[in-house]
Structure 1
């Protein structure tokens, strides 16, 4: 089973690929789209859930999404058709870091995709290239709530604590205008949904050659989460504007 299929199955019950509840998603989009007629770009959109919710809630918003996964973009297009918003959504299959556009965007999102750019600040640099004057960026990334174990760092990568993360963003020329720190409940709900969706699919499809691998992947992920990083990893969503010179 390839990584794309694992991700699609694992997010079946939590389509927002981030540890955040629906009410928080709604509030983040409200703050990110104050007028309701903005042009939105998601760098690393996956199945496009952030964009779909923005479009469904704002009939005048137009959106574009960029991702390398053809199956994820196919799912995004099908969902947009079901919601009746496909005429306002453009999808691009390519590396997000190399995306160019003839126009700028009022809101640029990149949630949980910093690895595609080489870290948080390079992600913000990529977002800056697409941002219209006065526009906003919605970024989502991890941080350490407490000193991580070596195993946690090996699994998830290098992060700072929350205060240092925000300090780095501000020093890079950004002003936070809103934020949401994922609660322990949101983090746990996301991880249980991720592992549970894989398990449920495997148990419902025992004849599928991939079912055993799905069960193994879920078990490994659950063990890593519970034993190595549950008590140290946090996640923050920030809405940022460029600091005026």
Structure 2
């Protein structure tokens, strides 16, 4: 079973592919979409869950999403059709870093997808190119909540602590107008949901040739979380506007 299929199973019970609860997602969208009639772009949208939620509650919103996974985009199109918002959603099958649009956007989203741009600041640079005057960026990034183990650093790379992460964003010409640090409950709920969904699938499909692989993956990932990064990993979402000197 390929990684994309495994990821789809893992996130079956947690379609927001980040450690955020539904209420947190709603509040972040409220701060990013103060009018309700904005044009929204999600760079690295996956199954477009952020866009679907925004569209479902804002009938005058229009949205576009970009992702390299045709499987995820097909799922997004099906979900949009069921919600009756497909006429206001455009999805692009391509690398987010190479996406070009003739029109700017009022909100640019990139939550848990900064790897597509090789880091936080390059992601903000990409968002800036798509942003309309006065627009906002909703970005989600990992940070070290405590000193990480060598194993955690090997898994997640060169992250910073919370204060340093925000300092870098501000120094890059952005003003945070809202922020959310994922709680312990949100972080744990996400991990339990992912690895529990994989384990359940494997146990429910014992005759499937991939069942052993999927169960082993669930066990290994859960162990990495509990022994490697649970006590040090954090996740931050920021709603940003351009600082006056850089607009």
Q: TM-score range by the shorter chain?
A: over 0.9
Deviation, structure 1 residue 76: 0.3
> Which residue does 1:125 correspond to in 2?
125
- Number of equivalenced pairs: 245
Paired with 2:141 and 2:83, the residues of 1 have a C-alpha distance of 28
> Which residue does 2:30 correspond to in 1?
30
Q: State the Cα deviation string for residues 14-65 of structure 1 (Å, max 9, x = none).
A: 0000101000100100110000000000000001000000000100000000
Q: State the Cα deviation string for residues 157-197 of structure 1 (Å, max 9, x = none).
A: 11000000000000000000000000000000000000011
> Which residue does 1:193 correspond to in 2?
193
Equivalent runs, 1:89-108 vs 2, <5 Å:
89-108=89-108
Q: State the Cα deviation string for residues 88-117 of structure 1 (Å, max 9, x = none).
A: 000001000000011000000000111110
> Which residue does 2:45 correspond to in 1?
45
> Which residue does 2:184 correspond to in 1?
184
| 1:71 corresponds to 2:57 | no
> Which residue does 1:12 correspond to in 2?
12
> Which residue does 1:206 correspond to in 2?
206
Query: Could you list the runs of 4 or more consecutive aligned residues of structure 1 that deviate by over 4 angstroms after TM superposition?
Result: none
Paired with 1:206 and 1:70, the residues of 2 have a C-alpha distance of 28
TM-score of the pair, normalised by structure 2 = 0.98
C-alpha RMSD over aligned residues: 0.5
Structure 2's unaligned 5+ residue stretches are none
Paired with 1:163 and 1:25, the residues of 2 have a C-alpha distance of 22
TM-score of the pair, normalised by structure 1 = 0.99
Deviation, structure 1 residue 208: 1.3
| 1:62 corresponds to 2:29 | no
